[in-house]
Structure 1
């Protein structure tokens, strides 16, 4: 609601209206609220002036502590609008309620004034009672007014005075719109003209000024009265106090604004849908994430979801809107034109029922692109060798065990390749050259494998190759021979030229083979390959011939 600033004329009128009440007292105040002697122009009615304390104490010191905060707010309102009002108790008069109206009268008297109107004793009020009982509980809830065809007030009943505080002399002869809030005048005129043209009753809601400077929400029912001449017609206006209803609307509006502020400040996108899929609310972050703006339906709102995930998400929304269980799923969004980045989001779908106000659904959307990226980076680090891009030892062993667990008649082959003279390359050309040689070896191995074969680096210069779904052992020998040729020859490195070669052992699964057994067999065959001149891949056979150094010495007769 727009805050109304009172003109100097309006403040004069309010002050004069308050002084017409017999039970009022007046205090002169400085801009900071200190009580000071009244100027001569204000002191003509000395009986009404509050005595000034010797220390020029603040007006707030007169009030009970429980009313000080509200009084401060009213004083700030006075500074902004020219008039502020509260209902409060004085510290030295427990149980008695006063209406305090502060008015900026510096244009006339050079001071602020505070008018205290005695509301009398209230049994329900006590020192410990914090309730805000004011004139609202005492004033009439309805009143009656007569108006001429042009809206000039012809007569009022006593309840009008009780409701607004204006006297008969102040209201009769004035146009009723003079008492309406400026923002409501055009609406009230339109309702009045509608009544005159249709000769039917009309209703309008407006803010009506009160003599104390406050505004009161009222509903006016204007009833047409037939007359021989329009100029002689006198219309009847029934007035109803709707301040409590409007206060409830205002409180609801404030709560809605607070909800929207909170929703817009959350680090997640929010989407509320009615049961038919129409959009009730979408916070600013959601529209930013999805890039769909002020879409009216869930179909339009989800237009940026990637095609491969769209059907799944649509089905999930339909299920939740139909009363199904809450769902959570992860989807990909199409790249936004501004960034071109493809993003991932989680949608948490929550069903709403009549208990939450209306059936429908609430979607909480979180952008997890960075989380997915971090998760993928961790997965890569946990799965692959950072230097060569091959699977690391743990992942290689896990893949081998998984392949061996697959039921069927296929064989799984294992190739163990160990680079020859690798330590000499590190010693002569440096560790950077050694790393470069390992990368070259890994690339060459990959270039001769099948699409399903797996390359793992399980040691410094050791590679484990897993060849699944073989029909016969000869297939893995052929692969091993291709690997052996790929790992043979000179390699030009940044620091010089190195000779590349490898010893290669091969093993093939049988019924009941385990990963550890196959690797041990391929490792044993690799050592046999190292012994051969020239080196070639060796298939593990039981038993392998022992090296010459390990053969027992002949016994003498």
Structure 2
């Protein structure tokens, strides 16, 4: 007898021997002639009081084959239960009435049903109410015909949480082949569905925005363009975006900035923003944009992809230019005001100092302007100032600059004047061009001006030339 079975066998033997007529059965392992142990089914009967026997009768039968099969079945069942318990998918069993009579841990987590051997419950009780109408005929047909079912539906947990699952059932038969139910699995894909829905919403938003969105790989090869990007780049929806050359959609200066400033910043810091200029490859139009580049990292910390978002700044730039023009120009005459005139004078003097030459400043003052204002009115005075501005600008050379300092004082900056003689001729030309009659809504006024001039060679300060020209103008008026 096997050592592990000896104590139990001895106890059974003693129990049988102590009681006349007693009998017992047990299974134990006995040593065979080949040195291996065999499972034996042993039956003992106490016939000590039987005169014909006078002993204990023992019957033994080798049941190793049956025992091995039982052990294999037990191991198989244990393996199944272990797999079912630890499986990441829900496993359940249906009887022919569509009731669940077994569920593994994962299925219970999803649905909130009882332990693994549950009291049979209607499978539809854990299905979302809105999905039952479609699921009932499909499950019924699968159970009736013994065929597989595959589909997607929703399960409702005991906590009311809805789980989107992909389910499958397969027919279950007994030893005779008769259909006894079905075994099913469900895979919870809620997170995947949510992720896809979020991605779909995100893509819908990206496709709807007027911002230009481009996604490239780490090497700058385009992977995705949204609708606004395709329009801005003249690309159709069926174009293979990976074949596009990103450099052809930027002005040379902007592309240089991308390579030398933007991309290194993205690699180092993960983000860059600034202003760039995009070029339409067909129309050749240049669009100023506010540009943001964002890097997404891979698990190793390298760049996975780069998202670029560009916003058209044309309207903003136009408004800025308009506001700047308004800030730098006289509202009444449209001529530059003091600030840009002084800046132009500074630049002209710097050029004269560097390359040689002279810069003339003319101060032009309208004679008897107060009389016109007082006699005809301010509206007529404004009209007279506009006429003077137009005549003054028309008398100057293309590279000269005329402006209004305020009131009836106008200034002309004239670079490249050869000397005092040329300066005198310039002043006479301006005086002649401005001089003449003006129709002021039926009232006629005769325009004359007083002009003061100063000539600089580049060493003077702008304020010095303006002061000298102003003084000369007052001297001429006197």
Instruction: Tell me whether the two structures share a fold, i.e. TM-score over 0.5.
Output: yes
Determine which of 123, 145, 150 is the counterpart of 1:180: 150
| Alignment of 1:346 onto 2:287 | no
Answer yes or no: is the 8 Å Cα contact 1:504–1:529 preserved in 2. yes
Unaligned 5+ runs, structure 1: 1-12, 24-84, 90-97, 109-165, 182-206, 222-238, 532-557
Q: Which structure features the higher share of strand residues?
A: 2
| Alignment of 1:373 onto 2:292 | no
SS in 1 for 2:397: coil
Count of paired positions: 339
Over residues 94-137 of structure 1, what are the superposed CA-to-partner deviations in whole Å (9 max), with x where a residue is unaligned?
Answer: xxxx99537869x99xxxxxxxxxxxxxxxxxxxxxxxxxxxxx
The structure-2 alpha-carbon separation of the partners of 1:300 and 1:414, relative to structure 1 and needing over 3 Å to count, comes to same
For residues 128 and 199 of structure 2, the distance between their equivalents in structure 1, rounded to whole angstroms, comes to 33
Over residues 131-177 of structure 1, what are the superposed CA-to-partner deviations in whole Å (9 max), with x where a residue is unaligned?
Answer: xxxxxxxxxxxxxxxxxxxxxxxxxxxxxxxxxxx99x98485232x
| Alignment of 1:328 onto 2:274 | yes
For residues 15 and 511 of structure 1, the distance between their equivalents in structure 2, rounded to whole angstroms, comes to 106
Answer yes or no: is the 8 Å Cα contact 1:343–1:367 preserved in 2. yes
Answer yes or no: is the 8 Å Cα contact 2:453–2:472 preserved in 1. yes
SS in 2 for 1:180: strand
Q: CA RMSD in A?
A: 4.7
SS in 2 for 1:243: strand
The structure-2 alpha-carbon separation of the partners of 1:173 and 1:499, relative to structure 1 and needing over 3 Å to count, comes to closer
Q: Which structure features the higher share of helix residues?
A: 2
Counterpart position of 1:62: none
Deviation at 1:492, TM superposition (A): 2.4
| Alignment of 1:364 onto 2:445 | no
Over residues 422-467 of structure 1, what are the superposed CA-to-partner deviations in whole Å (9 max), with x where a residue is unaligned?
Answer: 1222223322222222111111111121121111100211111111
For residues 246 and 297 of structure 2, the distance between their equivalents in structure 1, rounded to whole angstroms, comes to 23
For residues 511 and 172 of structure 1, the distance between their equivalents in structure 2, rounded to whole angstroms, comes to 105
Answer yes or no: is the 8 Å Cα contact 1:411–1:473 preserved in 2. no
| Alignment of 1:270 onto 2:217 | no
Answer yes or no: is the 8 Å Cα contact 1:277–1:298 preserved in 2. no
The structure-2 alpha-carbon separation of the partners of 1:333 and 1:346, relative to structure 1 and needing over 3 Å to count, comes to farther
Deviates more, 1:289-298 or 1:357-366: 289-298
Answer yes or no: is the 8 Å Cα contact 1:327–1:348 preserved in 2. yes
Instruction: Map residues 246-261 of structure 1 onto 2, 5 A cutoff.
Output: 246-247=189-190, 249-261=192-204
Determine which of 382, 385, 391 is the counterpart of 2:330: 385
In the superposition, the TM-score normalised over structure 1's length comes to: 0.50
The structure-2 alpha-carbon separation of the partners of 1:247 and 1:473, relative to structure 1 and needing over 3 Å to count, comes to same
For residues 476 and 328 of structure 1, the distance between their equivalents in structure 2, rounded to whole angstroms, comes to 47
| Alignment of 1:101 onto 2:126 | yes
Deviation at 1:494, TM superposition (A): 2.7
Counterpart position of 2:240: 296
Answer yes or no: is the 8 Å Cα contact 1:278–1:296 preserved in 2. no
For residues 196 and 227 of structure 2, the distance between their equivalents in structure 1, rounded to whole angstroms, comes to 19
Answer yes or no: is the 8 Å Cα contact 2:96–2:143 preserved in 1. no
For residues 299 and 316 of structure 1, the distance between their equivalents in structure 2, rounded to whole angstroms, comes to 22
SS in 1 for 2:416: strand
Instruction: Map residues 66-145 of structure 1 onto 2, 5 A cutoff.
Output: 86-87=111-112, 101=126
| Alignment of 1:217 onto 2:180 | no
For residues 421 and 447 of structure 1, the distance between their equivalents in structure 2, rounded to whole angstroms, comes to 22
Counterpart position of 1:279: 222
Counterpart position of 1:508: 455
For residues 327 and 362 of structure 1, the distance between their equivalents in structure 2, rounded to whole angstroms, comes to 12
Answer yes or no: is the 8 Å Cα contact 1:87–1:99 preserved in 2. no
Answer yes or no: is the 8 Å Cα contact 1:270–1:283 preserved in 2. yes
Deviation at 1:313, TM superposition (A): 4.4
Rg bigger for which structure? Answer: 2
Counterpart position of 1:472: 419
Deviates more, 1:455-464 or 1:429-438: 429-438
Deviation at 1:484, TM superposition (A): 0.7
| Alignment of 1:243 onto 2:183 | no
